[in-house]
Structure 1
Amino acid sequence: MKISHGLLFALSTMLLVSCSDGDDQPTYESCSIPDTNNKLFSLLQDKYFWNEELPAKINPEAYESIGHALYNLRNEKDRFSFTMTREEYDDYANSVFFGYGFGHQVNSAGDGLTIRYVFEDGSAAKNGLRRGDVITKVGDVLVSDFIQQNTGTSVDWTVLFGPNVEGHYVDVTFKKPTGEVSVATFTKGSIVANTVMAAETKSLTINGQDKTVAYMVFDSFKESSQTEFNTAFEQFDNVDEMILDLRYNSGGVISTANQLSTQIAGRNVDDEIFVSYKYNQKQSDNNEDILFTLGKGIKQLDLDRLVVLTTETSCSASELVINALSPFIDVTVVGDTTCGKPIGMRPEEVCEHVVFAINFQTHNAAGFGDYFDGLPADCAVAENVTGDWGDENDPLLAEGLSYLANNQCSSQSVAYSKSLTKNKKRKDVSVKEMMLHKDML
């Protein structure tokens, strides 16, 4: 089956591998752990991108779970293949998460939780919590005391914020970047996540002329994003430049990445190749080129250049947008080197699990797709949460605006680049944790 709509985490073209017979798979009597591991191995032999490097056979009883088996069978270049339960997959596909609806990190002082993002549908957002706020107290417990008590351990935040039970509530004290302190009651529940976190325009003087810059923060490439783009792009009237913020975006549906790229570049990519798919030898009939297409998009900007904000968690379809557009428009990467995933997977169901094992590699129209070490930042900047989305004190956004105004990296970026350790080892990236927003409360 050709993937004409190109899915990286293929939400609409799942091939099922159940516990029943298959024409090209052995029959097993049950979905016991050994049987499940055998079915996984059969799947990998047929469709895994590096199938020729798999062992000739496995002992299915040597692995305690299908996830353990996949982890141990992965190629050395594969830091990404994983499994999830069918329930987890269904929630991801429907953008359904559970909690208060915010992502966090312990602040540098160790006395609070800095908010990285909030979902509009969550109780936290509805009660005034925003990116850049700092939670200092939960109930009667100071966050600083809780952090100190859990130093050196894997922190179980449910001890502080409560169990994952529908309707559980807690009083939260948080401080705004202005110093204003608020207290609100957050309630846990199911959340339908928005993928466009922010969309606005900014004014900038470039070569003595006033210009309008579109700024969009995008969290995950899902099918629902395709209509969210249209809502966001309605605000981008007569824009001259664009900054696309993909700093937390772990990837997703390739057809969504195609639509976004086409809406940005417009006439610059008419009838051009967006991506070329390369499969293993057994699946080489699926190799094909996909053209840029507007898909469900309405408005296109026809921009000649783009600034993309990235971190090490900018992955997969995020990198594909950068790589696909680079042969046709001027793309400048600001932030950190991306995660390094020029490969993708079509999810397969094995018993009660959904397997995300690498199936193909992607190349752009120029034939480039070898960025396993990530796409490097042209202007290197360390991320730091300074306020809500659009805060011009944000180091990544400030550098992006500076680059557009001056057509070169700032002196601060140049100095930071020289301080970085070259050829740093790429670490394992938990795409699953990013997809499921495991940092979310």
Structure 2
Amino acid sequence: MPRCLGPSSRLPVPQPLAPAKPMLLAPLLGMLLALAGCGGGGGDSAATPAGSGNDPPPAVSSSFVPVADAQQCDPANPLAPAGQRSGSLAQEKRWLAAFMASTYLWNDQIPGTRAADARFSLPLSQVTPDGVPQALDNYFEALKTPQRTASGARVDRFSFTYGTSAWAALSSTGTSLGYGAQLVLAQPDPPRRAVVASVEPGSPAALAGLVRGTEIVVADGVDLIRETSDAGIATLNAALNPSASGVHSFTVQDPDGTNRRTLSLVAQTVTETPVRNVQVLATATGDVGYLQFDSHIASAEPLLIAAIRRLQGVSDLVLDLRYNGGGYLFMASQLAYMVAGPGPTTDSSGASRSFQRLQYNSRWRSLDSSTPFYNQSCVLDASGRCSSTAALPTLGLSRVFVLTQNSTCSASEAIINGLRGVGVTVHTIGGTTCGKPYGFVPQDNCGVSYFAIQFQGRNAQGSGDYGDGLAPTCAVDDDYAHALGDRAERQLATALGLRDTGACQLASPSAVPRAGHRSGPAVPSRLLRHPLRDSSWLLPG
């Protein structure tokens, strides 16, 4: 189980060789399909405007995580441990208000609320799809900043709640319930377009013949493309995000657009492969490495190290992060170091330069810290400690080509920003990234883990204000007609063309859609996944 901060703990400065137990993410097919508004972290808060009648501000906590009212759980809270059910919902909400006032990055922008309002006092048996009491989730949402980015997007579209036991199971087993496919919502509004982005080898999806580019048309008898009713959307969510093992029916369209078929998929535990398609591409001007990296989870580290060893000697690297929502920040730092080597990442004294500077709210400036470019392995063991500390292999590159889309988020964006901060040229090919220069340490109270944004990251040059995402060097739609790692796939082909010519053009005329395949999305596509997967995590002490 992940070791969360205790009530009296302060947030630790992350150390390179003493990480805690891994916090794993779930590779589900269409996790939480929010067809009315897909994307992470919940909808707009409907908090009561500040003014008379609102609750007074909570008392200032002397510790980062408040002690008062901690683990004082309502007897009806279905997630609370049996031995802690001697409190009340009012105490749980008081603790949550104090927690946000203390640790939340935008704690000076928390709207005025009344904790006794009906929507914050629903029966605790009413729960979210993640099993969290709806009353607590509603209250948490109401405490989030209403601030908007320049484009009008919510600044905090990332904070969320999750059941602590479910979180612990994900982090300790490395598996999740699903079909073994990742689904992209390439068109969010009717007529919707839901496309398989990748498939785990040997998974139910793979055995049923689903491949990249397969489109989901119907789920359990409901038209995914056009359905708008609440009941229909609930059926779609239940099929795409199964909560228990079972059989679900899907009608799919094959990638060439010529064949529709109906099949059954059995939801079961599936293990994610976070690093894939490691290969060396021979070109007339030298070998180019290609690496698909989908998630900064604990199991990825040894795979990344092995991949970099295999790629040593290449003249350039194409790093495919288009579906990588983030995860462990220390791993992002490790990979950045392995790409660049010691030259740009160390100063004249041999000390590491800053990969990312972490900034907290004004109450906790004493916790501001710098994450270095970690040059040693860790490899988390079952107890959450490093099992193998050794010098990391390096490529020693002065530039890197990174494939991005709107699902490139958080720790993945930190790789791009961190390398740019020390003078490494990073060309991005694809779409604008998700825009999350933020992170957190999840905190449990009464069986609910609260993932509230607590810090912002900046690179060595102070850059980190990309709430609307990092724009691509070359804008290219995702190419579902070709396999990832195929030299004809448009994003990879454009990266190779940019390398050869210095212009945003395809390296090969074969990198065009196949006959019958629909063109790329007209809007930014995004993986249907829980906001768990769009995060940067620090290592709790």
* TM-score interval, normalised by the smaller of the two chains: 0.7 to 0.9
1:372 aligns with 2:467: yes
| Structure 1 alignment gaps of length 5 or more | 14-21, 413-423
Query: Which structure dedicates a bigger proportion of its chain to strand?
Result: 1
SS in 1 for 2:235: coil
One-letter code aligned to 2:115: P
What residue is the counterpart of 2:296 in the other structure?
Answer: 221
- Mean alpha-carbon deviation: is it higher for 166-175 or for 211-220? 166-175
- How much does 1:280 deviate? 1.8
CA contact 1:381–1:395 (8 Å) conserved in 2: yes
Structure 2 partner of 1:19 = none
User: 2:192–2:226: 8 Å Cα contact kept in structure 1?
Assistant: no
Matched, 1:114 2:114: no
- Residue by residue over 1:160-217, the C-alpha shift from the partner in whole angstroms, topping out at 9 and shown as x without a partner, is 7896543647698774659899998743211121111432221223xxx3x1111111
Q: Distance in 1 between matches of 2:169 and 2:241?
A: 21
- Aligned partners of 2:164, 2:414: CA distance in 1, in Å? 27
Q: 1:85 aligns with which of 143, 147, 163?
A: 163
Question: 2:105 maps to what in 1?
Answer: 49
Q: Is the partner of 1:61 in helix, strand or coil? A: coil
CA pair 178-227 structure 1, distance change in 2 beyond 3 A: farther
CA contact (8 A) 1:241 1:306 kept: yes
1:387 deviates by 2.3
Which shifted more, 39-48 or 175-184? 175-184
Equivalent in 383, 389, 409 of residue 315 of structure 1? 409
What corresponds to 1:275 in structure 2? 356
Supply the AA of the counterpart residue of 2:200: F
- CA distance in 1: counterparts of 2:528 and 2:182, whole angstroms: 16
The one of 275, 282, 304 equivalent to 2:398 is 304
1:408-419 equivalent positions in 2, closer than 5 A = 408-410=503-505
Instruction: Name the structure with the higher helix share.
Output: 1
Q: How much has 1:404 moved relative to structure 2?
A: 1.1
> What TM-score comes out, normalization by structure 2 length?
0.65
**Alignment check: 8 A CA contact 1:33 1:61 kept:** no
Q: Distance in 2 between matches of 1:429 and 1:174?
A: 18
Matched, 1:130 2:224: no
For residues 58 and 121 of structure 1, do their structure 2 counterparts lie closer, same or farther at Cα, with a shift above 3 Å needed? farther
Q: CA deviation at 1:90?
A: 2.0
Partners of 1:251 and 1:69 in 2: how far apart? 26
Whichever residue aligns with residue 99 of structure 1, its letter is G
CA contact (8 A) 1:99 1:122 kept: no
2:67 to 9, 17, 25: 25
Task: Please name the residue that 1:334 is paired with.
Answer: 429
Q: Say if 1:250 and 1:431, in contact at 8 Å, map to a contact too.
A: no
Identity of aligned residues (%): 25
- 2:334: which partner in 1? 259
Q: How many residues align?
A: 407
Kindly indicate whether the alpha-carbon contact (under 8 Å) linking 1:336 and 1:380 is maintained by their aligned counterparts in 2: yes
CA–CA separation in structure 1 for the residues paired with 2:435 and 2:247: 39
| Counterpart residue type for residue 388 of structure 1 | A
Matched, 1:383 2:481: no
- The Cα of 1:258 is off from its aligned counterpart by 0.8
* CA deviation after TM superposition for structure 1 residue 35, in Å: 2.4
Give the superposition deviation at 1:298. Answer: 3.6
Q: Give the corresponding residue for 1:68.
A: 138
For 1:40 and 1:59, how far apart are their aligned partners in 2?
A: 13
Tell me the distance in 1 between the aligned counterparts of 2:534 and 2:412.
Answer: 17
Q: CA deviation at 1:89?
A: 1.5
Q: C-alpha separation between the residues in 2 aligned to 1:198 and 1:251?
A: 19
- Is the partner of 1:362 in helix, strand or coil? strand
8 Å CA contact retained: 1:158, 1:164: no
Residues 362 and 120 (structure 1 numbering): CA distance in 2 closer, same or farther, change over 3 Å? same
Structure 2 residue 304 is matched with structure 1 residue 248 = no
Cα gap change, 1:434/1:131 in structure 2, threshold over 3 Å: closer, same or farther? farther
* Aligned mate of 1:196, from 269, 275, 279: 275
Q: What TM-score do the two structures reach when normalised by structure 1?
A: 0.79
RMSD of aligned residue pairs (Cα, Å): 3.9
**Runs of 5+ unmatched residues, structure 2:** 1-10, 24-62, 75-87, 122-134, 148-154, 347-351, 378-390, 508-522, 536-541
